[in-house]
A and B are shown apart, each in its own frame.
Chain A
Amino acid sequence: MSPEKMVTMANQIATFFMTQPGEDQASRVADHINDFWEPRMRRQLLDYVAAGGEGLSPLLIEATKEVREPAQ
């Protein structure tokens, strides 16, 4: 998908969990992405972050540390 679309989708998730109480928002964002994003979508996200992650919210970038690396 286009990087803009992926950034929008990812940031939407971060925006929701940012408002949730507690200290573990980054983990919850990562859990959500691990649960619902197919490996090639996670691959695209991780590659995008590695390339600078322009436009991604800080919480999302924090969360990608816990996003599971796709096996293939």
Chain B
Amino acid sequence: MKDFIIPWNDADMGTPAKTGAPVTLTVDGAAVTVPEGTSVMRAAYEAGITVPKLCATDSVEAFGSCRLCVVEIEGRRGTPASCTTPVVEGMVVRTQSAKVQKIRKGVMELYISDHPLDCLTCSANGDCELQDMAGAVGLRDVRYEPGENHFDPTGTGALSMADAKRREGDGNFRYIPKDESNPYFTYDPSKCIVCSRCVRACEEVQGTFALTIEGRGFESRVSAGGAVDDFLTSDCVSCGACVQACPTATLQEKSVAELGTPTRSVVTTCAYCGVGCSFKAEMNGDQLVRMVPYKNGKANRGHSCVKGRFAYGYAEHKDRILSPMIRESIDDPWQEVSWDEAIGFAAKRLKSLQKDYGRRSVGVITSSRCTNEETYLVQKLARGVFMNNNTDTCARVCHSPTGYGLGQTFGTSAGTQDFDSVEQTNVVIVIGANPTDGHPVFASRLKKRLRAGAELIVIDPRRIDLVKSAHVEAAHHLPLRPGTNVAVVTALSHVIVTEGLMDEDFIRERCDWNEFLEYADFVSQERHSPEATEMLTGVPAETLRAAARTFARGGNGAIYYGLGVTEHSQGSTTVMGIANLAMLTGNIGRPGVGVNPLRGQNNVQGSCDMGSFPHELPGYRHVKLPEVRKTFEAAWGVTIDPEPGLRIPNMLDAAVDGTFKGLYCQGEDILQSDPDTKHVAAGLAAMECVIVHDLFLNETANYAHVFLPGSSFLEKDGTFTNAERRINMVRRVMAPKAGYADWEVTQLLAQAMGADWEYAHPREIMAEIAATTPTFAGVTYERINELGSIQWPCNDDAPEGTPLMHVDEFKRGKGRFMITEYVATDEKTGPRFPLLLTTGRILSQYNVGAQTRRTANSTWHEEDVLEIHPHDAEVRGVKEGDFVKLASRSGETALRATLTDRVSTGVVYTTFHHPDTQANVITTDFSDWATNCPEYKVTAVQVSPSNGPTDWQERYNAQAEQSRRILPAAE
């Protein structure tokens, strides 16, 4: 890789960085000072000297097996391996001498004696460390004649696969053909040098332990899973860490084999989950060859998951719509038109709707998939062009309770820590989140810390993988009944307060003491004790008491939570309860602690920051505040409506009532992702102008009148903000396939409606954000490029950003304890619907699946299935793999069942990745009391055997097919 656009050094330094007291040594005559514990190899690299190596790489601890990195150290006997030798004060190292050169040549000669010599046609040609090292050590001859080896299928002593083609022999029992079972990479045992880097990466970096070295001595080979497994059937989660670590073509991306070695790379940010991993998009021309996790990315530290690393093929998928389209009515086929015509059609309709039905009859939905700059423009379109506050975003249906709950207690709507903080935590609560599936790269970092001894408490109705997996086991699993989060969290506080385990010094100093006393009085009541709530929550009192003690006494305590907390009638209350718990135990304001919402989408934090909510201007400031409006009125030259606008569910209600008529929906599929599909469909059908701006004809587009083609994250510049408040750059690596980046399309629409917007580049939009929003005051593209990324707040007080929040005082001053009374949801089980359905996602698919379903990730999950406990299945006559009907008071659908005790009796679970299933036809319109965040996680259902899709599914699919007809453009 020679032509980096961003010249940040991410070379392999051989062994991991250490922290410790400075130690000074001399390497080849150059003095260098490094932290204690650093290897001689890494110290040499710091001094600008590269020591040859094969089995060492800085993503995993040194192993000392290849003996290529031997050096001479004054006063020591022999030739120690520099990777496993720690530095000592005053050490004098020589990395080059006749002696070590001879050893290295001998080592390389042995390696090459069992390695095929078809380098020119090898998929790692030009990107192979074995090849590089052969050159570096000056290997010019191999004295060994062809003998027993692993690479020659004929067993005749062929030197390469090409050579073997001409020969016939009895065969070579040591030769193992390539394993091509994984859709994204191959395992070619003939090229393996048994350096163990893949095995160690799978253990140390990913934490899955899917790989091992099987056999001894010359028989040693990498093996995935058990004896009969291949990579696909093993525990492998396809994170790519092994491929990344492999120095040869043994583990190699299929895309590189097909497209050739990339020649340039651009650092950018993943467009999947809220972890916000940094990647290098490695390119040939404008063709993407592969995505490689970027080592200097502060969220992921060089790690990745199957989505970000491999599932980018959707950007080139044939389903992408690249021409704007319009239609008079949703019963008509689509008609391809020019951008001018589509934008003109949309603007005219919106204007006429506002004229006929009033200023507030139209609105927007901003996208958490799009950049900050794009989101900012869409809400500006509502506020500055439509002249109303009808703007909302998909955070409404995921983390809006986080905004409200943390805003009330701490004073700001965001996680308190960076992801690095997990390395210093001692006890972790994971509540209502399934990080190994939803936030896999963070999960790997968490598991690494757990293997190092931190304790884990899991609060979840399901036995998620973290409860027990390879070398990780939760100290306590609280398998609560869906909908009882508040009761459980309050009971934890009850134990902490009544047993005197709280951090009184912290509370006196940092929180309002009187509010604490009221809170303590409330939680101490006997009705909140674990014994009193056990019947309600299903969590054994002793387990809950033990968990509370572990958390309160365990040292640095961190809480990570997800949508299992927020998507309830009492979502906001649970968030407050979590904040209470953190304040109670003094776990705020330093590394290793904190309250950490795991954000669902890549830019859900950013879309909230950018003022997507109908009551808030950018920076979480209410539209009712005249001084805030004044700032934006001055910048935009308009008068801003002081009234809050409609939230997504309110828009749909108003549409059904006939007062909301037009919607511009960017990069979100509300028909599939929002609850109570029938109600969403009715709302959309009642509108007269639905503009869908997306990569694909998504489900919402079935009800759209205008389709504007979107651009993928590879096709535009901008920024995403991840769950740590980290603003990461998104860099354009290819031209927008449909002609415009998404921010340009929004600008075209605004201009067509009469706005005088003239942005030439997203950096100008960011400049406007910084000028109007105090928490972003110090953010510029130049600054982000310089620092790599910035965590807001970034301003004069924190010019390099803020990794930890609430360090000396809370944003709101004193931390505020809130009373968290448990209120049972109205969604109750009964004779008709005796089971509780809860929903979630899995590793290989992402949300509505618009992206991942259009990649080979479907190999792992091609349909949504219903998890049901064997007891519940038996009494219903349901067997593994049977089609079952899943019904609630909202609707019914059919899908296949799988029997598992991961769910308790009385609880069933499914994912919502596939439109054929439409899990949301089942979910109801109940929502969080404060924010209208839908109660996805609790629906009373019944399960019964079925023959196949329901009538509703068939009708839906027929309508969808009818609606997706496209007429070619008129010439």
A-B contact pairs, 18 of them (CB 8 A): A1-B650, A1-B654, A1-B657, A12-B929, A13-B930, A15-B929, A16-B573, A21-B518, A21-B819, A35-B624, A38-B614, A38-B644, A38-B645, A38-B650, A38-B654, A39-B360, A41-B650, A71-B643
Tell me whether A36 and B615 are in contact (CB under 8 A): yes
Chain A residues near B656 (CB-CB < 8 A): 1
Q: Beyond A13-B929, A35-B624, A38-B614, is A19–B821 a contact (Cβ under 8 Å)?
A: yes
Residues of B within 8 A of A13 (CB): 929-930
Quick one: which of A2, A16, A19, A35 contacts B644, CB cutoff 8 A? A35
Q: Which residues of B contact A71 (CB under 8 A)?
A: 643
CA distance A13 to B654 in the complex (A): 20
A20 to chain B, nearest CB (A): 5
Question: Is B646 an interface position by the 8 A CB rule?
Answer: yes
Chain A's interface size range is: 20 to 34
B-contacting residues, A10-24, CB 8 Å? 12-13, 15-16, 19-21
- Give the CA-CA distance A41 to B390 in the complex, in Å: 13
Query: Closest A-chain residue to B363, C-beta based?
Result: A38
Given A12-B569, A20-B819, A21-B819: A39 touches B930 (CB 8 Å cut-off): no
B61 within 8 A of A: no
Contact of B360 with A40 in the complex, beta carbons under 8 Å: yes
- B503 interface residue, CB < 8 Å from A? no
Q: Is the CB of B644 within 8 A of A37?
A: yes
Contact partners of A9 in chain B: CB under 8 A: 927, 929, 932
Q: In the bound complex, how far is the Cα of B311 from the Cα of A15, in angstroms?
A: 45
The 5 A-B pairs of least Cβ separation, nearest first, read A12-B929, A1-B653, A19-B821, A38-B646, A21-B518
Q: B823 within 8 Å of A by Cβ? A: yes
Extra contacts besides A9-B929, A38-B644, A38-B645 (13): CB < 8 Å: A1-B650, A1-B657, A5-B653, A16-B930, A34-B624, A35-B615, A35-B622, A37-B644, A38-B654, A39-B360, A40-B360, A41-B646, A71-B643
A70 to B642, CA, bound (A): 11
Q: Please indicate which of the listed interface residues A20, A37, A39, A40 has the most CB atoms of chain B within 10 Å of its own CB.
A: A40
B520 CB, min distance to chain A CBs, angstroms = 12
A70 with B643: in contact, given A15-B823, A20-B818 (CB under 8 Å)?
yes
**How far is A35 from B650 in the complex, measured between Cα atoms in Å?**
14
A16 to chain B, nearest CB (A): 5
Expressed in whole angstroms, the Cα–Cα distance for A60 and B151 within the complex equals 78
B residues less than 8 Å from A34 (CB atoms): 624
B387, chain A: closest CB distance, angstroms: 13
**B653-A16 in contact (CB<8A):** no
Measured CB to CB, the closest approach of chain A to B814, in angstroms, equals 16
Known A13-B930, A19-B819; judge A39-B643 contact (CB<8 A): yes
**A37 CB → nearest B CB, Å:** 7
Q: Which residues of B contact A35 (CB under 8 A)?
A: 615, 622, 624, 644
Distance in angstroms between the alpha carbons of A40 and B646 in the assembled complex: 9
- The 0/1 profile, CB within 8 Å of B marked 1, for residues 16-52 of chain A is 1001110000000000101111111100000000000
B659 within 8 A of A: yes
When A8-B826, A12-B569, A21-B518 are in contact, do A40 and B659 touch as well, CB less than 8 Å? yes
The smallest beta-carbon distance between A22 and chain B, in angstroms, is 9
Quick one: which of A50-72 are within 8 Å of B by CB? 70-72
Query: Once the chains bind, are A32 and B930 in contact (CB under 8 Å)?
Result: yes
> Measured between C-beta atoms, what is the minimum distance from A63 to chain B in Å?
14
| B contact residues around A20 at 8 Å (CB) | 818-819
Q: Which residue of B lies closest to A44 (CB)?
A: B657
A44 to B587: give the CA distance in the assembly, Å. Answer: 44
Contact code string B352-396 (vs A, CB < 8 Å = 1, else 0): 000000101000000000000000000000000000011000000
Residues of chain A within 8 A (CB-CB) of B390 are 38
Task: Tell me if B800 is interfacial: C-beta within 8 Å of chain A.
Answer: no
